[in-house]
Amino acid sequence: MTQPWKMMESLQNWADILEEHIRRLKLDPGELEEYKEKVKKRFNGYLEPGAELEGFPLFGRTRNETLAAPFALDEHTLTCNLGLDLVVVVTKTDFISTLEKEFDYKEEHFDFIQQAGRKFCLKYGASLFYTSVKEDKNCDLLYKYLVHRIYGFPFRTPALVVEKDAIFIPSGWDSEKKISILYESLTSVDPDDNFSDIIIKPIVRKPFHREIEVVAEEDQLFLVKQQATLTQQSAQTSRNQETPVRTLAAMQKSAERRFSGSSGMPVSPKKVDGSKGVAGSEGVLQNFFSSLLNRKTGSSSGTTSSFRPTEKMMARSDVTVELDRMLWNRKSPVTSQSDRITAPGSRSGSGNC
């Protein structure tokens, strides 16, 4: 029912396929005629549920009279008897509401579709079902009817023609006279009009709001994809952690080259902040005393000092600053009210700083 304009074309295509299949079987003409007679007898022998009791009148006749002298078939009934028990199923009838809202379908359109489908079923002696899995319309009924036809199980449900989305026409119940009841609602069209001229494909003004069918992938395929994703994330994390380490090592090497002395010996950088201040102080003092030793050694041996005058002055200045800072650090940062903080070299009371 999502594409009712294709309904009759689809039905005719399937009927042609079945007819071609039967022809290729190359059955004996007598056997094929026997199958056709069974279809005709079953169609004529249909009784309403409850009318199968002996002596119950059926249109003025009893069951035995019906089987002995069946009704004469209508002009367009079983004109294409294939010898098969056919069932025509119109699916997704819940889409009828969408056709009304979005494509401006009226009751007249649905009655025209129904009468065309019933005429087709009458020609082939088929049953007709309108089903909807979404709305659970006639699904169980279709199953029971198939079991009834295949295995002969009892079936007690009569024809259903009230609800337009849950039609059920059993084989043998329908006739041209019953179909003509639908003609009363066909005011602007004729029942004999070409189906494709009345039920035409509409211009789509907005896309169909069909529910997206989600198919779950296999467990192994899902796990393989997750494993590949985790491996990629792990490799990316390793690269991000490795980059800062390399950068830090490069910075340390650059610092060592920058603080190397003129004599070729590495000199530790001056650090006066944090926990590395002590290490910086020891390095400055060590360089100072080393320079003194080198100077004395150089003078006694008759060689020139490795330090130039400017470098000597810078070293002495560094030592003086470092000694002053160490002297201030030795004093406690918290003093009592009787203590006084004095500058280096001044007197306080009886003691010297």
Tens of each residue's pLDDT in the chain, 353 residues: 999 999 999 999 999 999 999 999 999 999 999 999 999 999 998 988 876 554 444 444 444 444 444 556 778 899 999 999 999 999 999 999 999 999 999 999 999 999 999 999 999 999 999 999 999 999 999 999 999 999 999 999 999 999 999 999 999 999 999 999 999 999 999 999 999 999 998 876 666 667 777 888 888 888 999 889 999 888 888 777 655 555 555 555 555 555 554 444 544 444 444 444 555 566 767 777 777 776 655 444 444 444 455 555 665 667 677 777 777 776 545 444 444 444 444 444 444 43
**pLDDT value of position 101:** 93
CA distances from 334 to 180, 276, 327, 329, 339 (A): 113, 23, 15, 12, 10
Kindly state the tokens that stand for 136: 């659970």
**pLDDT value of position 198:** 94
Paired strand residues for 240: none
**pLDDT value of position 97:** 94
Q: Please list the helix, strand and coil fractions of the chain in percent, rounded to the nearest 5, in that order.
A: 55, 5, 40
**pLDDT value of position 269:** 46
Q: Which amino acid is at 91?
A: T
> How far is Cα 27 from Cα 211, in angstroms, rounded to an integer?
46
Q: Which amino acid is at 73?
A: L
Query: Cβ(260)–Cβ(253) under 8 Å?
Result: no
**pLDDT value of position 302:** 46
DSSP states along 56-83:
--BTTB-HHHHHHSPPPPPTTSSTT--S
Query: How many Cα atoms occupy the beta-carbon half-sphere of 202 within 13 Å?
Result: 17
**Domain-by-domain residue ranges, the chain?**
4-198, 257-332
> How far is Cα 88 from Cα 152, in angstroms, rounded to an integer?
19
